[in-house]
Amino acid sequence: MAQYEQSSQFAPSWFSALESTSSHGREQRVRSFVRLWRAFMRARVFIAGVLLLLQAFVVLTGTGGPPWLVALCAAHLSAALAVLLWSRPIQPGKPVRLQWLFTIGVDVLVFAVLQTFQQGGINYTPLFALPVLLASILGPLVLALGTAALVTLYLLGEAWLSAPLLSDISTSRFLQTALTGTGFFIVAFLANQLALRLAREEAVAQSSQAAARTQAQVNELVIESLSEGVLVVDRDGVVRSANPAAQGMLMGDRYPHAAKLLLSARDSWAGLANLVNETFTLGHPLETELSIELDELTTHRLFARSRLTAASGRNGGLCVLFLEDQREIEAQVRTEKLASMGRMSAAVAHEIRNPLSAITQANALLDEEVQSPAQKRLTQMIDQNAQRLARIVDDILNVARVRPDQALASQPSLPLDQTMRQITHEWSRQNQAQEWLSVHAHAPSVMVGFDPEHLRRLLVNLLDNALRHASKQRASIRVITQSSASDRVRLSVWSDGAPLEASVRRHLFEPFFSSESRSSGLGLYICRELCERYGAEIAYQRALLDQREGNEFYIVMPAAEGQRLPVQQNLGYPDSVPARPLPPHSRPGDPPLTIR
């Protein structure tokens, strides 16, 4: 029908174009139409039953019409029941079919026969309002006006036959019939227009409800995926809602999702409670920095901003708190600052290399001339610091250097196990870590296309990080190689250190991110860049090895071209088992790690 075809132009939001044409919206409108149709059919059954009882009473008392009117009413009741039980409503907008003849036509015919053969003072004219309303509300305007016209013509004919023409009685009957017919036309038109308006309002309401539901789902998805914590708090300090980021900042993994929290329940939340109270008291947004202690070893430094919603209801508005991790803010600011200085730093580092080389050469010549032990120590200090500066310059230049578009096919293939053993032996001897380091090489024939110096730098960086956080016990650091696929090999560095915090894991391989104040934060970033240069991948996971939890940085690199490797399911090396990943969480008693 027209009232169901015009709803799209009343779209209340940018979701309505999607909702108004959806099958769900059409099904809702059809269900509403079916409910209304069944209500009218039940009304027809009720009226038919009342007419049957009335005719039976009239026949029994001998004050009514002929007895066959009882059979007519019984047939009318049967037809109404048949339509209600076995007939289906015509879909909105479809053309009028025979079903309308079995409803509107039957009603008009039965009421007309009762009105014609009535005896006594019973008047059946008001019953004609039922088919007129049925056609007006469930059908188009043409059907409604046609039904009203049919009823009016019958009433005029009945008035013409019931009294002599041009008599006083006929004049009053014609006038009464004209007024009744006019009323039927007015009812038909008004009922049809009201039905159109109600259908449009219903369509708009359904579209608005669907749009609001969709908008709410989008808002929930956006808020849940925010790295910024969002808390909704009332005047009593009750936390009405909190997104996952805020839950982690308040209580970590132990947040009770099924219960509401009071900000006054913990002493460490006192700063948040005071911020909420001051916001409600002053009536304007506030900002502050505060700390929340999850446990004895874990503290979150937060930057909190408060906003008030519009007051509504008896309890007034709500306070919305936005929480940001201070460490992430500082890392972002540091990244933005250093990124803006990247090009200038690269140019300065390039210019430093020449005078730094001159200083190193001059110091070497000076070292050959001096003989005093004190002077020798000075030259050694100069050489050590010059080498440190050279490494820093190389780090900056490696970050600023653009990676080639195509793979370095000219790099020589080198044996992974042999090269790894040589690098780890030199590193352990230099750091006096022979007792703590355990090497398990299980890829003896694997060749990889990697620059030897880059592989050394990659492995030494991971070993330095492992040494910094290992327990310094026997086999607390392990280097393992094994085949992971027919053309891939896996190199991993494992240490039994404490787990990483979630905020640290998110930024592990980003440049200039470090939890140590004296570190440049370029080590792991350069490792990732080196791996990507040779088609390898580097990742971190919390892994279990020999029933001990630890941190594992592993590199999956391609074998040399044309080489097929057997996949090793069970390594079988002594005093060890293959590492398996653990869920990425931090235990309450573990101190946080720092990453260089």
The CATH number of whichever domain residue 565 belongs to comes to 3.30.565.10
Q: Locate 256 and state its tokens.
A: 């009770």
Top-confidence residue, 399 or 211: 211
Q: 3-state SS string over 62-103? A: CCCCCCHHHHHHHHHHHHHHHHHHHCCCCCCCCCCCHHHHHH
592 in a domain, yes or no? no
Percent of the chain surpassing pLDDT 90: 2
Answer yes or no: is 593 within a domain: no
The total number of structural domains in the chain stands at 4
> Would you state the pLDDT for residue 514?
62
Residue pLDDT, tens place only, 294-320: 776 677 788 889 999 887 655 568 899
Report the mean per-residue pLDDT for the chain.
Answer: 77
Q: Do residue 168 and residue 276 come from a single domain?
A: no
Supply the range of the domain harboring residue 546.
413-581
* Tens of pLDDT, residues 545-563: 888 888 899 999 888 765 6
Domain of 231: which CATH number? 3.30.450.20
Contacts of 189 (CB under 8 A, 6+ apart): 136, 141, 144, 145
Report the Cα 152 to chain-centroid distance in Å: 61
Q: Do 40 and 117 share a domain, yes or no?
A: yes
Rounded Cα distance between 584 and 499, Å, is: 8
Weakest-pLDDT range from 64-78, 154-168, 368-382, 429-443:
154-168
DSSP state of 105: I
Pair (121, 56) in one structural domain: yes
Q: Given pLDDT bands bounded at 50, 70 and 90, which one contains residue 494?
A: very high
Assigned domain for 286 exists: yes
Q: Give 596's pLDDT tier (boundaries 50, 70, 90).
A: very low
* 407: in domain: no
pLDDT in tens, 212-261: 888 888 888 888 888 888 888 888 888 888 888 888 888 777 777 666 77
Kindly state the tokens that stand for 30: 């059809």
Of all residues in the chain, the percent with pLDDT exceeding 70 is 76
- Residue 346: CB atoms within 10 A of its CB come to 17
Considering 188, 212, 236, which residue would you say is the last residue of a domain?
212
Torsion of CA 419, 420, 422, 427, to 10 degrees: 140
Pairwise CA distance, residues 512 & 332, whole Å: 9
**Distance, CA of 338 to CA of 399 (rounded, Å):** 12
Same domain, 322 and 390: no
Instruction: Kindly report, residue by residue over 394-430, the tens digit of the pLDDT.
Output: 766 766 664 444 444 456 788 888 899 999 989 888 8
DSSP code, position 499: P
DSSP 395-450: HHHHHHSPPPSS--TTSPEEEHHHHHHHHHHHHHHHHT-TTTEEEEE--TT-EEE-
Q: Which two tokens stand for residue 221?
A: 């998805």
Sign, CA dihedral 231-232-236-238, equals negative
Q: Is the pLDDT of residue 502 over 70?
A: yes
Of 158, 189, 212, the one marking the end of a domain is: 212
Average pLDDT on 328-337 reads 73
**378 and 308 belong to one structural domain:** no
Among 110-119, 339-348, 458-467, which range has the highest average pLDDT? 458-467
Quote the CA–CA distance of 485 and 473 in Å, as a whole number. 32
Packed helices 129-138 and 141-162: angle between N→C axes, nearest 10 degrees: 160
CA gap 298, 592 in Å, rounded: 7
The answer to whether residues 127 and 180 belong to one domain is yes
**How far apart are the C-alpha atoms of 557 and 484, rounded to whole Å?**
9
pTM: 0.43
Same domain, 237 and 144: no
382 in the same domain as 441: no
Position 345 scores a pLDDT of: 67
Q: Do 40 and 86 belong to one domain?
A: yes
Which pLDDT score, from 0 to 100, does residue 82 have? 86
Exposure string of 165-180, with b = 16+ CB inside 10 Å and e = fewer, is: eeeeeeeebbeebeeb
Q: Cβ distance 76 to 48 under 8 Å?
A: yes
> Do 242 and 159 belong to one domain?
no
